Each structure stands twice: as structure tokens, then as C-alpha cells.
Amino acid sequence: METDLKYEVGRATGVAGWFMRHALILPVIVIASYFIGRGLGDSLQLLYLLCGLYSLRFLDLRPHRTPVYLLILLLVLFLVSVFYPDFSARSFKYWVLYALSGLVLIFTVGVSSLESREADNRVLVWISVALLIGFASELGYFFFILKDFHPATQVNGMILATLAPLIFFHTKEEQKSSASMYVMFYLLSLVLLSFADSRTELLMLLIGGAVYFSFYARKMQVFLFAVPVIIITALAVDGLIINSQPLNSDDGLFQWLNQLSSLRLEIWAEALTHPPENYLTGVGMRRSIEFLPEVSYVKHLHNMFIEIWYETGLLGLLGYLTLIFVLLSNLPRAYQVLEGMDRRVYAVFFSSGVAALIGGILDKGYIHPITRYYMLFCFSVLYILTHSRMHRRKIV
């Protein structure tokens, strides 16, 4: 089988060969383009999908059939909610969108040996730097030229917060030089996101950075200490800089937390206290607000797991959790044995995927590109990286 694989990879020239050689960087470029605009992001994602479909015959899915089968099962479960208890054209449209984005898993695990190339690593670093510069320029334009604007709705730092861990691909022989760049990058991002009224993005940025350091340095106890510090930092930023909601502790703990979360808690409570009639299949993809008139002022439920449960039922939620569990199943093993560049690649995409997960839980839900596409890509990288490296160790 190994000989057949080498033969297939050797035959993969042109578009297919280029696609397979840059499997680690192309999805990152796609998600970064969403910072410029949804139209550009959707166009590049479509181009990525076309290249992936063209390269499909060169990909080897035999060693990694489990996540592929689970993805297919998940899509079938989601499709059931589209037709039962009643068909919805809107739900079917979003199912097609989700299915196409889900192909990123197949295109990633089909490349049986993901290689981190020095040139690609430099591009990834420059992507994170370019996002920081672009976000600073956008924020400066609104603050100093327009002056009258609402940063929470007009400025979105989620792509920056999600891709911030890419800066850790910057390495030099002098470790102090790299460490100084990391600190400067994160401090500047912290300040910009604070003034952009981006509390969720702030948590994504800080938790992503903490996950990277804890995993790469094998100091998970630091992460346990960092989480409460990060939460306190976010609360301090909200109270001292953002101050977006007048907090009144006299209203009770629930109302205080609800105001602090920009009414997120109220939305989640409404969904949990008014569950779908059919617990197994839900109400259909992207239809939750139709059945929750009390929160009709929002477009979605701002929590990916509550949304999946409400819209695709318990079957969809269990299928989704199973897929994520399998993709991350080798995390403890990777924490112990990976070394060198393999460890750095794993830590970067793990922290970036966790940042996307935080964004999905606290804001964007499961339909947004960072969760339906990029997070799935990150966790697929972790799966294929550990499986290929463990297989190599067994051969040796």
C-alpha cells in the first residue's frame, strides 16, 4: 500500500500535485480572505473545493476511513432534519453549504503525509501579520475618519483572533527574538480587540495563545491557571474600556450575566426552555429563530452546540460530537510524543481550532465559515498528523 501511495503522489502533478503539496496552507488562505469580504471568501472556498475535487483521485482515504464515514453519517443525520418533520428549502440550502464545506476534512485526511514547508510557514506568519495590520487600519479609519460608528457591529476581529496562533510559526535561532515578536503581536492584538468592542474575540485570542503555550511547552497546569486570569482580563476590559452594557448587580446574577453576555444567556435559556417538538431531528437547519419568537431579534442562537441540538436534534448533536471526538482522539498521545516541527504544527492548529471553537460557542454558531470549514480543517490536521507520525514510529 505504501508503494501504491508513493506512485499516486508521484503521478499527482499540475493542479493536483500543487493542491496536495500545500494542503496545510490553502484552507488558511481561504478563511483569511473572509476578513476582506464574504464574497471573496466564498469565491476562494469554491475554488478550493474545485481543486480538491479534481485532486480526489490522487488522495488516499484508505488509512483514514473512520472520520470520512463519520462525516458522511453526520451529513445524513443533518439531511434527515431537512425533510422531517417537514421539508424546508432554506434548510436544504444550508445543508448543501455545510456539505461542501465539510469536504475540507476529506481533502485533508486524504493527504496521508502533511508536510510543513518552510516557505508555507513564512506565508502563514505573514497572513497573521497582514490581518493585524488590516484590522488596525480598519479600526483607525473608523475611529479617526468616520468617528461616529458602532464597533461591535461594523468591525469584526474574529478572523484575526482565530488565525493569531499562526504567528508561532515564526522561529529563529535566537529564541528571544521570536518570543519578543509573539508578545508584541499579542499585546497589539489585545489592545485593538479591546477598543473594537470584541469580548468574544478577546477570549478567543487569549485562550488560543494559552492553549498553544501549554501544549507546546508541555505545561497544561499553566492553562488551568491562565483560564481564570483570561476571564478576569475580559471582565476588566469590558468594565474599563468597552462598557457596552450598564451592569446592575441588584437585578440578580442571571440578569447581570445576561447583560454581560449581550443577552446571549437569555437566548440560550429561551432555546433550552422551549425545546423542539421532535427531540431526535430538531426543526431543520437555520430555522431555530422561526420557532423562538421571543428571540426573533437575532439571526441565530449564538452557540453552536445549542444550535445543532435545536436544529438537527439529538441525532445531529451526537453525530457531531462523535466526529469531533474521533478527530481529537489522539490528543493525549500527541501531547506526550510529538517533537520538533511536528509538535509546533500540531500546537498551532490545535490552538487555532480551539479559538474557532470558542467563537462558535459564544457567538457564530455552527454555520459560520470558521466552524463549518476552518475548525473542521484544523481538527482534521491534528488527526492526520498524529496518525501519520504514529504509523511512521511503528514502521521504524
pLDDT at 44: 96
What is the per-residue pLDDT across 349-381, written as a single tens digit (0 to 9) for each?
A: 999 999 999 999 998 899 999 999 999 999 999
C-alpha 191/C-alpha 199 separation (Å) is: 12
pLDDT in tens, 303-343: 999 999 999 999 999 999 999 999 999 999 999 999 888 99
* pLDDT (0 to 100) of residue 204: 93
Cell of residue 220, nine digits: 497544561
Cell of 207: 485562550
Residues 72-115 have pLDDT tens digits of 999 999 999 999 888 889 999 999 999 999 999 999 998 866 77
User: 177 Cβ partners below 8 Å, 6+ apart?
Assistant: none
pLDDT tens-place string over residues 53-77: 999 988 888 888 999 999 999 999 9
pLDDT of residue 6: 43
Residue 200 in this model has a pLDDT that exceeds 80: yes
Going by pLDDT thresholds of 50, 70 and 90, the confidence category of residue 8 is very low
Distance CA 90, CA 231 (A): 37
Which three cell numbers mark 139? 479600526
- Count how many Cα atoms sit within 13 Å of the Cα of residue 28 in the half-sphere of its side chain: 28
The three three-digit cell numbers of residue 359, written as one number: 467563537
Number of domains in the chain: 1
Distance CA 357, CA 304 (A): 9
What's the farthest any 2 CA atoms get from each other in the chain? 70
Grid cell at residue 34: 473572509
Beta-carbon neighbour count of residue 60 at 10 Å? 17
pLDDT in tens, 292-304: 887 877 888 999 9
Task: State yes or no: cis peptide before 228, omega within 30 of 0.
Answer: no
Query: Residues 201, 158: contact at Cβ < 8 Å?
Result: yes
Report the pLDDT averaged over residues 37-43. Answer: 94
pLDDT value of position 4: 41
The whole-number pLDDT of residue 9 equals 46
- What pLDDT score was predicted for residue 169? 92
Report which of 53, 34, 52, 54 is spatially closest to residue 43, judged by C-alpha positions: 34
Q: Residues 6 or more apart from 260 whose CB is under 8 A from it?
A: 235, 238, 245, 247
Owning domain of residue 98: 1-394
Separation between Cα atoms, residue 325 and residue 172, nearest integer Å? 35
Coil vs helix vs strand at 113 = coil
At residue 172, the pLDDT reads 65
Residue 142 — very low, low, confident or very high, per pLDDT cuts 50/70/90?
A: confident
pLDDT tens across 207-259, in order? 999 999 999 999 888 888 888 888 888 777 766 665 555 556 566 777 777 77
Confidence of residue 139 (pLDDT cuts 50, 70, 90): confident
CA distance 370 to 357: 8
| Per-residue pLDDT, 373 | 97
pLDDT band of 198, cuts 50, 70, 90: confident
> Where is pLDDT greater, at 170 or 326?
326
Q: State the Cα–Cα distance between residues 327 and 315, nearest whole angstrom.
A: 19
Distance of alpha carbon 250 from alpha carbon 88, whole angstroms: 44
Using CA atoms, how far apart are residues 231 and 248, in angstroms rounded to an integer?
Answer: 19
